[in-house]
Amino acid sequence: MSASSYIADMTQLDLEDASRIDEILSQIHQKLNSSEQLSAAVKYKLTEKGQNERSRFSKLLNYEGPEEATLELLRREKERWFNRPATFWLKGVPTFPSLHERQAHIVGIYLQAERVDA
């Protein structure tokens, strides 16, 4: 067997293998997508090639800008941060316009404490 025919045979086998693997992975992907419980129990995550990029691009196209709370923080602290940039890194006392944000802050502090204690 010549080197070129050996390479041609190898390429053909690779293409056949790739086709079979694609078929199997497609079936697994469909099965995992049809069952959240099964998907959660499996050690690996299966996504199509390019899915992450498509997802990021979609999020970029649908981005509606910063939330009002972020804009308010920027407006409120702008002067101080421009005059004394180092204060940007200092943790200030947060203000919470809603109960939901207060609860989220408490949970965040708890989770941070758990990480520090670990």
Mean pLDDT over residues 12-40, rounded? 89
Distance CA 59, CA 109 (A): 28
Residues 34-93: pLDDT tens digits? 999 999 999 988 889 999 999 999 999 998 888 888 899 899 989 988 998 888 887 665
Residues 91-104: pLDDT tens digits? 665 555 666 777 78
Mean pLDDT over residues 97-113, rounded? 75
User: Given phi > 0 = left and psi -120 to 50 = alpha, else beta, which region is 50?
Assistant: left
**Domain ranges within the chain, ordered by starting residue:** 3-61, 68-117
Q: Of the given ranges (20-24, 70-74, 110-114), which has the lowest mean pLDDT?
A: 110-114
Full-model pTM: 0.44
What lies within 8 Å, CB to CB, of 66 at 6+ separation is: 74
Amino acid 18: pLDDT: 86
